[in-house]
């Protein structure tokens, strides 16, 4: 696998801004999960949720990795290529998740490297990416969603940590 560099995009207007903010969100998430031990990682903190992806920090991180690949694969496939979506991969320690999240980000960079002339904005709904959950986004909107997805789950993990530490 080639190692793609964010430096290729830093000065590239909106793409650079989106990728910088994605990297920042990932960095913040990684700093939150780095000290988590295996016991806390796998602890079922919300046994009552109907969302299987939100029962434990481990399930949240598994979801984050798969979703991050999903956004990038959706962009890739929208360009007329065919790449399968990744399946969930469960890890037993925080460092493995950090590595997986960083690899997911490198994969995202590779998509932008493979398609350097991606049009970020599309106004025609039929030209937008139809997501697996049924919404349509242009590339810019999908990347904004990817960033906020990380932020929302980072907050959720922080709240899980507070919940466990205040018991």
Residue spans per domain, the chain: 6-165
Whether the predicted pLDDT of 5 surpasses 80: no
Task: Name 129's bridge partners.
Answer: 137
Torsion of CA 102, 109, 79, 16, to 10 degrees: 130
CB-based contact 143:76 (threshold 8 Å): no
Lowest mean pLDDT among 93-97, 115-119, 148-152: 115-119
pLDDT value, residue 4: 56
Lowest mean pLDDT among 25-29, 57-61, 97-101, 113-117: 113-117
* 65-108 per-position pLDDT tens digit: 999 999 999 999 999 999 999 999 999 999 999 999 999 999 99
Q: Could you give the CA distance from residue 146 to residue 156 in angstroms, rounded to a whole number?
A: 15
123 Cβ partners below 8 Å, 6+ apart?
A: none
CA distances from 30 to 46, 92, 96, 110 (A): 21, 15, 11, 21
Whether pTM > 0.95 for this model: the answer is no
Whether the predicted pLDDT of 7 surpasses 90: no
**For residues 55-62, average pLDDT:** 98
CATH fold of the domain at 6-165? 1.20.120
Q: Could you give the CA distance from residue 56 to residue 3 in angstroms, rounded to a whole number?
A: 31
Q: Could you give the CA distance from residue 84 to residue 158 in angstroms, rounded to a whole number?
A: 32
């Amino acid at each position: 696998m080639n190692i793609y560099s964010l430096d290729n995009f830093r000065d590239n207007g909106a793409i650079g801004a989106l990728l910088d903010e994605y990297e920042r969100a990932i960095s913040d998430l990684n700093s939150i999960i780095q000290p988590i031990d295996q016991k806390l990682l796998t602890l079922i903190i919300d046994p009552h949720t109907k969302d299987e992806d939100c029962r434990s920090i481990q399930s949240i991180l598994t979801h984050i990795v798969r979703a991050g690949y999903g956004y990038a694969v959706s962009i890739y496939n929208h360009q007329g290529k065919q790449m399968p979506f990744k399946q969930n991969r469960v890890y037993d320690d925080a460092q493995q998740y950090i590595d997986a999240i960083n690899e997911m980000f490198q994969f995202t960079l590779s998509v932008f490297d493979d398609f350097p002339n991606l049009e970020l904005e599309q106004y025609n709904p039929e030209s937008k990416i139809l997501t697996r959950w049924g919404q349509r986004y242009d590339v810019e909107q999908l990347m904004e969603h990817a960033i906020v997805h990380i932020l929302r789950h980072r907050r959720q993990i922080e709240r899980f940590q507070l919940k466990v530490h205040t018991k």
